[in-house]
Structure 1
Amino acid sequence: MKKITYVLILFFILLTSSNIHAQDILRSKDLSTMQVDYLSDDDISKISAQLKSNNATIDQVEPMALSKGMSQTEFNKLRLKLAQFEKKKPVNIDADNSKGKATSRDSEFGRRQEQIKNVKIKDSANALIFGSELFDNPTLNFEPDLKLATPMNYILGPGDELQVSVYGVQEYNASIPVSVEGKITIDYVGQIAVSGMSIEAATQKIKVAIARVYSTVGSGQSQVSVSLGRIRTIKITVVGGKQPGNYSISSLATVYNALHLAGGPGKNGTYRNIELIRNNKVLKNIDIYKFLVKGDQSDNISLKDNDVIRIPAYNQRVNVEGEVKRPGIFEMKKGETFADLLNFASGFNEFAYTASVNVVQKTGKEFKVHDINESEYNSYQPQSGDVFRVTKILNRFENRIKIEGAVFRPDYYSFKEGMRISDLITRAEGLTEDAYSKRARIIRLKTDLTTEIVNVDLAAALSGDFNADIQLKREDIITVYSILDFREEYKVTIDGEVKNPGEYEYFENLTLNDLVVQVGGLTGSASKRVEIARMVKSDNIDDADPKRVELVELEITVDNNEQIKNFILKPFDVINVRKMAVYEKPQMIIISGAVTYPGKYVLANKKETVYNVVMRAGGLTSIANLDGMKIKRPIKAEQIEDLERIDLNLSKGDTVKDKLSKKLKDDLKFVTIPVNWEKIVKDKNHYSNVTLFPGDEIDVAVYNEGVKVTGNVLLTSEIPYRSGKGFKYYINSVGGVDSKGWKRKAYIIYPNGKAAVTSSFLFFRSYPRVEPDSQIVVPEKPERKKMSAGEWAGIGTAFASLALLIVTAFK
């Protein structure tokens, strides 16, 4: 707290002191008249510097400023202006962004330098020129490293700042700038001229001058240290670059740093003969290729004030295309050869044809083509405009041979003159056990690039018969057959009451027991009857025998999946394991609603009816609606498939069929069967006493005296049932139909799922009877396309023509 109080007092003193540069901002202790809008950027910069020098923030000085009469509004404006000023300040890449601090570059090392920025834009136009990528990469800027020790040969000049320290018995520490006259001023020592001197010479001169004032320096009891605190900025000029002009750069900057700022050579600028001009004389010729090819920075010398970097136009450029590691445009010096150019392009790639290179040359009138052989690479000197094309090697082999089939190592092998079939088989580790030794095949490429087949007696060739052991040629493909290649793939099929029916591979001596075990055994519904269909084979056609297959019937022990006598199968047999005559798992239905014992019930017999199940459920309760019983039957997948297979003769773009299928699958999911319980009780054979299917649900509604009215009516509601009241009464009770309602097509749904519609005859309309717990639905009128004025005009014209025709006919 004491520290903050001290900072606040010090800040106030700094603001009001007559020695502070910002005294014209706050002329008195009264801040009530302060207008932040009139503060310049320089004033804001001074306030920001004062805050930083006292290690205080704008929020810490807020109470002090408000106590001196400054309004909260003006203080908020000041805070905003300071924040905007901080954002405008250039932030170095070493800034501590995570803490919100922006420090000068390398200030933590005691040395400062003004930030120099230059926005880089990718040069796509000159991307093929070798070396252009060096100058449009913002991360490669060749900036001097301020963290290094002060170079002893560094020449001081106006704008530099020296850090002079005396330590030991006597102490002194100060940052002293070099004035425009080239001098520094040390307290009690006086002025010392250092401009034009190296840092080493200036250090000795400063030590001698200090020793005359500080006696302990001469005796050695105190030491003097001189280092470079702030580096000056120098002016240089770049001519011929992409961004030529005058640049202010660090006095430690080098040629490459200046070239990077200028974007490198221009479109026609040279990369091999850049001139560094100092005092109107060419001091150095810079070849950037030294750095690009060898990493040699001997040409990257330091710059001085008023240096000029001149980039002349290039003399020779050539183009390298094709199979080199770095194709592009390269600049050549006089005396350099194609071998040097190949070095610039990083050499041939893996697929290059290296025996010769094709070059397109330019004469005074036209182009010409020249081939450079490998022996000329070190002597041929490229000319300006040459285009070198390095092609690919041929997609062929000079010594390849192949063996495939029944050998242990089928593959490609190297070919040698005089190689025979036995030599190649030996290299392939010999024949496999299933090899067919009577014949092998050679596919041979003839001289005219057509192919031929050469047959080989493999057994004779391997037994030492010189004539059979054929001599091979390059690109021969030898195929050794396998006896398995000549065998038909035999299968057997098993179906019926087995766990994994399907087609299986046939093996010699395969039995029915083996196959049953292989498919996982029989299911619980399997009977002992097994039928095997076997193909009939004969060389003669017997028209008197109509059999297509031979049928074999067997019996199997279901308990242990075994036969009494094992039956051997043959290829292509089809086995069918029959199902038991009676094997049905218990199936259930659901009864819900107003019954004594609702829930799931098993169908006790094949013709279980509604009445039987209701009685098993304890009968209807006292609150049951006798007219509200219905059956919900799930829609089966095969029913939907049957609907989809029906051709409704619709137009190509009509989606009625798809919508209907989707509605059955996703919306309805079941159909409703109305039940008339009163009729069933009187007559068990009544058609309402339907036979139930597995999955059916009997829904017995609870008696409800209301009548629901829905659809296109003004108010969807439920109206109490009143005996004797008709259809119109209930529609009027909900306010009638709305503007889209189609009253004459209104219908009613009764509690048991039945529906009745409004009917009409001539001018008379008959509405269905209303019962308790029913639902009246008013549908929406279909949209009708209104006739346009042109259509009405067409109809009128047609009638006029017809009238004219009739009048004419009766004249």
Structure 2
Amino acid sequence: MKLLKYCLIVFSISFGNLVNAQGLDSDLKSIEIDQLSDGQIQQFLDKAKESGMTLDQLEIVAKQRGMSSIQLSKLRSRIQEIQLKTSTPANQIEHSGDRLRDQPREKDYNAFESLNPSNSTRKSKKLKLFASDIFTSVKPSFEPLLNIPTPVDYVLGPGDEIIIDVFGASEVTYQQIISPDGNILIEGVGPIPLANIDIEMAKNRILNRLSIIFSGLKGRNPNTFLQLSLGKVRSIKVNVVGNVSQPGTYTLSSLSTLFNALYNAGGPSANGSMREIELHRENSIVATLDVYKYLFEGKSDQNIQLRDGDIVIVKPYLNRAKLAGSIKNPAIYEIRNDETLADLIRMAGGFDELAFKDYLTIDRVGDVEKKLATIKQEDYQKEALHNGDSIFVSPILSTYSNRIKIEGAINRPGYYELTSQLTLAGLIAKSQGLREDAYLKRGNIVRLNQNLTLQNISFDVQLVMDGEQDIVLSPEDLVIIPSIFDVEEKKVITISGQVRKPGEFPFIDNMTVEDLIGLSGGLLEDASTTKIEVARRLSDTQDLSKSSQVFTFKINKDLSINEEASHFILKPFDLVLVKSTPYVRKHKIIRIEGEVNFPGLYTLETHEDRLSDAIKRAGGLTDYGYPEGAILIRKTEYFQSKVEERAIKALVEKRRKELESRYAGQEDSYQFIQQQLADYEKEVTENIKKGKTTSELEARIFRTQQLRMLFSRDSISGFNEIIEQEAIGIELNDALNKPGSEFDLILRDGDLISVPKKLETVRVQGEVLYPNTVRYSKGSGFKSYISSSGGFSSNAKIGKSYVVYANGSAKRTKNILFFRKFPPIKPGADIVVPKKQIRRKLNVQEVLGVTSSLATIALIIDRLSN
């Protein structure tokens, strides 16, 4: 009603002035379209366009206001004439596009796409109802094709637009819409009724009426001809009921078919049939649609065109059967009473390449209980299907009936076909013979028995190759011919010590010590040539107290032939040890940082260099130096190993990125890169152990050491995390004033001496009310700094408080009877108040349990004493 009122208002605005100008009633009963000028009609069209209303809507409103059907037809004709004048020259019809029926733009869509399940669908355990996706697809499908030649059996009705082309001696085109009364109006002819007749009958009727104007349309020799075509089509209403997803009444194009109605209604529901869809028209069934025939056979004879008022009824499904397994389209299929197992397999696209076809087992629902039916392949065409049948097509066995395998020291190992009476010798010949490293004394055949147990058959490879022995092979036999390297221990020689590439090397006959040193890259600078040891395994001695035999001799520094060494021939598993000379000394380096005049790295000159010597070489302390806070940081063995480990990981990771970038996109590069990284890591590790590091590695170790500072000068945060370094509390003033005394410590390689600036703060942390850092005040004691931090908390363990001084030393609180003696405070000190250990109180049940236990113990003691 709101839309109708809106239309009336717009129509009144559009025609108000025209009606008043002619003195007509506002209900438009007596308006004459012929008396309106083209300008007035165009004004009406412009206002209608601004209001957003279509011509069909305006015609409905005009009819509501009393305009007759003849005047409505004249109004439509006048509008078309004005549109022709403004868009085309005189006596020409509209552009061909104007004749096209409105067709929604569609994407290409394959209606059978959903019938080809992907691999993931086939692996799914839950089967889908076959063809259910066709009507529920989000893609546009089954839309009527409007721009087709005019169907000769198309029945016209109100709202259809017809195009009448008269050509020959006379040329004119009429474009008319059939009025609600079923007529078109042609000037000079009058109304022509066309409703409820087909195109062919309408053409004859129009020809008879137009022959009044165009005499050349009839006669023995007509010179004027008529062509009738369908323009824009009307809408019809179709009811879709029964077992559909969205039953109801749908407004469709008059060119729509039965499939179009089903698609708009969402297709059959879960219980709806796809094999018996009925179309009712005027109380009779005019068509029965089988969707499967359309999908499998392309038959669309029952997909007839719909008419206004048609009823589509989707009945419940007839019978359904499941088909899964090694089938091309596993799904749930609807079957008719006369269809067989062979029909079902054909609907599913047939067996796939792995299907076992000799027989199928049907899981069938009986009257009382389930039962199985095993059907042979020759009976597939005879076996009728029942509602609820479930068939699973099993794949063939994964075993082979004629496969054998040979592996080991063979030129072409792999699988081979087992032909009739193939023997072991024939198989070796097929695989192009043995490799040079084949072990000829023994081979094995692993045979699979019929009971699936394994049997081993041994053979002499040499006898088989000489033709003196042979074995007939069986299916799934595995022939193994080992290599001599598989059955014998790998012979190697090991060299370690002061050589460039220590490690294992393959044993070579007649190799001397000098030869082995040459293979290992030669001697290092600190290698000793005066005493080289060779350790040899003992195998033929009864003396169990000895583990090896040791030979000692000299070699030449330049590895030239030494008479003693050249006569000594190495044997498998010998271990060559190259010692270092006692006369080569490695540099020992320390670092001095902080408030000295020349901080940096220094080399220890002697084994007896002390703190005072190092500070003296560094130019002494600056004016801001605070010797009481100086600290000596000494690396532990654990720290050195961790530094080396982190440095190796950093270098290997860098090399990984370089290799991955270099070989990106190449096939089989992963294994190659992994091998390269393993070799590189081994090389770097050995270099570190020998003290031969690249400059890059030294820089990384140095940075790692620098980043791991013990703690900052005004804080002891991280103090408990020192696990790789140890801080040694020193008295630098005493060491400088009394060189060589007990305070003047002897330095070691890697020591770090840190001299801070004069410190002016004291930090209080732990169980105080307000932990903070306060200014150092000379003469203030322990409790004064605690008061500056708010005092002790309730959980403070006061008797265990201690002070850590700037030089790394610490002093604890001493408890003498009922008195406590707190340690003195110096600049840069840290006061630490630990926390009490909280003990959980016993609950009532625990107290009763303890009391009961004590009472029991007391009773036992009492009885024992009596």
Q: With structure 1 as the length reference, what TM-score do the two structures score?
A: 0.69
Deviation string for 1:355-408 (max 9, x for gaps)? Answer: 222345566666655443333333444345544443332344333344444443
3-state secondary structure, aligned to 1:613: helix
1:710–1:775 Cα contact (<8 Å) kept = no
Give the aligned partner of residue 595 of structure 1.
596
Give the aligned partner of residue 5 of structure 2.
none
Give the aligned partner of residue 612 of structure 1.
613
The unaligned stretches of length 5 or more in structure 2 are 1-7, 18-45, 55-96, 107-113, 115-120, 643-716, 856-866
2:424–2:471 Cα contact (<8 Å) kept = yes
Give the aligned partner of residue 288 of structure 1.
291
3-state secondary structure, aligned to 1:135: helix
CA change 1:232–1:214 in 2 (3 A) is farther
1:594–1:702 Cα contact (<8 Å) kept = yes
Give the aligned partner of residue 264 of structure 2.
261
Equivalent of 1:305, from 298, 305, 308? Answer: 308
CA distance in structure 2 between the partners assigned to 1:733 and 1:22 by the alignment: 96
CA distance in structure 2 between the partners assigned to 1:17 and 1:320 by the alignment: 63
Q: 1:644-683 to 2 correspondence within 5 Å?
A: 666=721, 670-683=725-738
Give the aligned partner of residue 347 of structure 2.
344
CA distance in structure 2 between the partners assigned to 1:699 and 1:582 by the alignment: 33
Q: 1:322-721 to 2 correspondence within 5 Å?
A: 322-360=325-363, 369-435=372-438, 441-444=444-447, 452=455, 468-528=469-529, 529-538=531-540, 541-542=542-543, 546-559=545-558, 565-566=565-566, 567-637=568-638, 666=721, 670-704=725-759, 712=768, 714=770, 716-719=772-775, 721=777
CA change 1:510–1:280 in 2 (3 A) is farther
2:238–2:312 Cα contact (<8 Å) kept = no
CA distance in structure 2 between the partners assigned to 1:416 and 1:679 by the alignment: 97
Give the aligned partner of residue 81 of structure 1.
none
3-state secondary structure, aligned to 2:294: helix
Shift of 1:601: 1.6
Deviation string for 1:723-758 (max 9, x for gaps)? Answer: x44444455566656777776665444443433344
1:596–1:618 Cα contact (<8 Å) kept = yes
CA distance in structure 2 between the partners assigned to 1:126 and 1:420 by the alignment: 49
3-state secondary structure, aligned to 1:352: coil
Give the aligned partner of residue 684 of structure 2.
none
In structure 2, give the amino acid aligned to 1:287: D
2:610–2:740 Cα contact (<8 Å) kept = no
3-state secondary structure, aligned to 1:614: helix
Give the aligned partner of residue 182 of structure 1.
182
CA distance in structure 1 between the partners assigned to 2:805 and 2:241 by the alignment: 97
CA change 1:261–1:464 in 2 (3 A) is same
2:335–2:344 Cα contact (<8 Å) kept = yes
Give the aligned partner of residue 13 of structure 2.
19
Deviation string for 1:567-588 (max 9, x for gaps)? Answer: 5321111122212224343232
Deviation string for 1:338-364 (max 9, x for gaps)? Answer: 322221122122222212223455666
Shift of 1:549: 1.4
CA change 1:226–1:213 in 2 (3 A) is farther
Shift of 1:474: 4.2
CA distance in structure 2 between the partners assigned to 1:131 and 1:276 by the alignment: 20
Shift of 1:444: 4.8
Shift of 1:126: 9.6
Shift of 1:226: 6.4
In structure 1, give the amino acid aligned to 2:732: W
Q: 1:62-81 to 2 correspondence within 5 Å?
A: none
Give the aligned partner of residue 90 of structure 1.
none
In structure 2, give the amino acid aligned to 1:330: Y
CA distance in structure 2 between the partners assigned to 1:765 and 1:159 by the alignment: 112
Give the aligned partner of residue 156 of structure 1.
156
Equivalent of 2:829, from 766, 775, 784? Answer: 775
Deviation string for 1:538-590 (max 9, x for gaps)? Answer: 1x6257xx533111123344455986644532111112221222434323222
Deviation string for 1:42-65 (max 9, x for gaps)? Answer: xxxx999848799xxxxxxxxxxx
Question: Does 446-455 or 403-412 show the bigger shift?
Answer: 446-455
Give the aligned partner of residue 130 of structure 2.
130
2:636–2:725 Cα contact (<8 Å) kept = yes
> Are residue 755 (structure 1) and residue 810 (structure 2) matched?
yes
Structure with more helix by fraction: 2
CA change 1:709–1:318 in 2 (3 A) is closer
Shift of 1:437: 5.4
2:321–2:389 Cα contact (<8 Å) kept = yes
3-state secondary structure, aligned to 1:340: helix
1:113–1:250 Cα contact (<8 Å) kept = no
1:399–1:415 Cα contact (<8 Å) kept = yes
Shift of 1:201: 6.8
CA change 1:788–1:173 in 2 (3 A) is farther
2:761–2:773 Cα contact (<8 Å) kept = no
In structure 1, give the amino acid aligned to 2:500: K
CA distance in structure 2 between the partners assigned to 1:720 and 1:437 by the alignment: 89
2:14–2:47 Cα contact (<8 Å) kept = no
3-state secondary structure, aligned to 1:689: coil
3-state secondary structure, aligned to 1:291: helix
Matched residues, percent identical? 32
Deviation string for 1:319-350 (max 9, x for gaps)? Answer: 43443223343333354443222211221222
CA distance in structure 1 between the partners assigned to 2:341 and 2:630 by the alignment: 101
Deviation string for 1:678-713 (max 9, x for gaps)? Answer: 422443232221112233222233345665666636
CA change 1:613–1:254 in 2 (3 A) is same
In structure 2, give the amino acid aligned to 1:376: D
Deviation string for 1:653-672 (max 9, x for gaps)? Answer: xxxxxxxxx96785676443
In structure 2, give the amino acid aligned to 1:779: V
Q: With structure 2 as the length reference, what TM-score do the two structures score?
A: 0.65
Shift of 1:609: 0.7
The unaligned stretches of length 5 or more in structure 1 are 1-13, 24-45, 55-105, 642-661, 802-811
Deviation string for 1:139-181 (max 9, x for gaps)? Answer: 264222456666565443334456899999x999999654432
Shift of 1:610: 0.6
2:445–2:457 Cα contact (<8 Å) kept = yes
3-state secondary structure, aligned to 1:354: coil
User: How many corresponding residue pairs?
Assistant: 681
Deviation string for 1:15-55 (max 9, x for gaps)? Answer: 999515999xxxxxxxxxxxxxxxxxxxxxx999848799x
In structure 2, give the amino acid aligned to 1:549: S
CA distance in structure 1 between the partners assigned to 2:607 and 2:388 by the alignment: 99
CA distance in structure 2 between the partners assigned to 1:705 and 1:457 by the alignment: 90
CA distance in structure 2 between the partners assigned to 1:448 and 1:674 by the alignment: 79
CA RMSD of aligned residues (A): 5.2
